[in-house]
Structure 1
Amino acid sequence: MTEATCPVGVEGDWRSRAFDLVRGIAAYDGCPLVGGLARVIAQHPEALIDNAFNHKQVACKTWARDQLYGSLGGKFDRLAILGGWYGVLAAMLLDDPRFEIGAIESIDIDPSVAAVAETLNAGANGRFKAVTGDMYRLDYAALAAGLIVNTSCEHIADLRGWLDLLPKGTNVLLQSNDYFGEPSHISCVESADAFERLARLATIKFSGALPMKNYTRFMLIGTV
């Protein structure tokens, strides 16, 4: 684990204690993901890693991981996660022994998140890469991903229009929600059925809902 000095003061004291706690948990259980969280706390004090790894985010991503394994199995030569943010879902997939993944590319339009994602996944032995890019401008044929993941479909104005950019037959995992009160959620859905109608996938291997405290998360796994 790389040693680092956290900022001083009240915020620094909180981060210093969080860093020591998480680093201790990593030493106890040997979990690379927890070790990555400790590195992020130490090296990226500006990162909102507490938000990215809160219980709701983890619950939604654990649900995605489990249903993905149940629907498509665990072997992927290459997969891409769009809107990958700090790379938490990638870290969770790479940490799960059920999965055999050759490479994960985490793509986000925000250039400030790539360094954090790389730090979190520094223990992935070269299987992780964070890229700054616009999902509407990617060459998906060249990307050659066996699975495309997008867990932020509520932010996509024209979901079907974006899906039409993907090569036919591409496996996808999509999530949206019914949290209409958030201004940035411009494409929420009211139900899993509504999500299915919006996405119009060629095949659906999983369709379901995960009730949360203030909203319900919906997920589809299938092919375009």
Structure 2
Amino acid sequence: MKHTSHHPSEAGDWYEHAFDLTRGIAAYTRSPLIEGISRVIAKHPDAHIANAFNHKQVACKLWARDTLLSAAGPAYSRIAILGGWYGILGAMLLEDSRFKVAAVDSFDIDPDVEAVACTLNAAFADRFRAVTADMYAIDYAALQADLLVNTSCEHIADLRSWLDLVPTGTRVLLQSNDYFSEPTHINCVASVEDFVNQAALTTLDFAGSLPTKKYTRFMLIGTV
């Protein structure tokens, strides 16, 4: 039987190993997003990047990206992402050659994530902007985004009151879930039908569900 040993310093070197690994994966895949993650590991060691890019987060964002392409097409002059966190969804859209996206604005109320999002999206600095802002305080008419994305509708106490701030005719991509046991989820929905009723969109291009191990994620694409 083969035995392996671990040096005591290996656990403490996690960030160094992760940095080397992600740099190698970035070189192999030529992915600006993976390269950005390696920069975040090196520059922002306190960022929860492993949680932000875990397989569940990635699956939900891939679902959003691929469904958006099929339901609403590839071309956008400005995409505004609310609750954008570290800007991963923005990077996924910007690095996908199937899309033609002129600009992505990633908004988040947490001031600590702005610098991390900019580091992660450094390859797209000419098209990506991270902004610290309360989603209720944004002037959506002045923003002139042709797509608003909010993948955290379970955190919004009154979804329709927020949507009422958005100019009529604006396309939106919304996600929520039925993970009622999570204390920070203050407005979950039990089904995609409940989500449709809650959002009350003017037009609906897509309504669907993505089952996961602990909960089901719901998504709507349409216009306000």
Partner of 1:59: 59
Distance in 2, matches of 1:76 and 1:192, equals 26
The 5-angstrom pairing of residues 18-57 of structure 1 reads: 18-57=18-57
Report sequence identity in percent. 65
Aligned to 1:93: 93
CA–CA distance in structure 2, aligned partners of residues 168 and 11 of structure 1: 53
Normalised TM-score (structure 2): 0.95
State the Cα deviation string for residues 11-60 of structure 1 (Å, max 9, x = none).
64001001001101111221111100100111000000000000000000
Counterpart mapping for 1:96-107 below 5 A? 96-107=96-107
Show the 5 A alignment for 1:105-144.
105-144=105-144
Q: Secondary structure at the match of 1:97?
A: coil
Could you list the runs of 5+ residues in structure 1 that have no partner in the other structure?
A: 1-8
The amino acid that maps onto 1:199 is: A
State the 1:139 CA deviation. 0.4
Within 1, Cα distance between the matches of 2:31 and 2:133?
30
- Please show how residues 60-75 of structure 1 align to structure 2 within 5 Å: 60-75=60-75
- List structure 1 runs of 4+ shifted beyond 4 angstroms: 9-12
Q: Counterpart of 1:218?
A: 218
CA contact (8 A) 2:105 2:131 kept: yes
Q: Distance in 2 between matches of 1:68 and 1:198?
A: 20
Q: How does 1:172-211 map to 2 (within 5 A)?
A: 172-211=172-211
CA deviation after TM superposition for structure 1 residue 184, in Å:
0.8
Task: Flag the 1:11–1:127 CA change in 2: closer, same or farther, 3 A.
Answer: farther
3-state SS, counterpart of residue 213 of structure 2: coil
> Within 1, Cα distance between the matches of 2:182 and 2:222?
27
In the aligned structure 1, how far is the partner of 2:196 from the partner of 2:221? 10
Q: Work out the CA distance in 2 between the residues paired with 1:150 and 1:29.
A: 28
Q: Any stretches of 5+ residues in structure 2 without a counterpart?
A: 1-8
Pairwise CA RMSD? 0.9
Q: How many residues align?
A: 216
State the distance in 1 between where 2:36 and 2:10 align.
23
Within 2, Cα distance between the matches of 1:64 and 1:23? 26
CA deviation vs aligned residue, 1:152-203 (integer Å, no higher than 9, x gap): 0000000000000000000000000000001110100011000000000000
Paired with 1:100 and 1:130, the residues of 2 have a C-alpha distance of: 19
CA gap 1:45/1:205 in 2 versus in 1, 3 angstroms: same
Task: Give TM-score scaled by structure 1 length.
Answer: 0.95
State the distance in 2 between where 1:129 and 1:66 align.
Answer: 22
Structure with max Cα Rg = 2
Q: What amino acid is aligned across from residue 114 of structure 1 in structure 2?
A: E
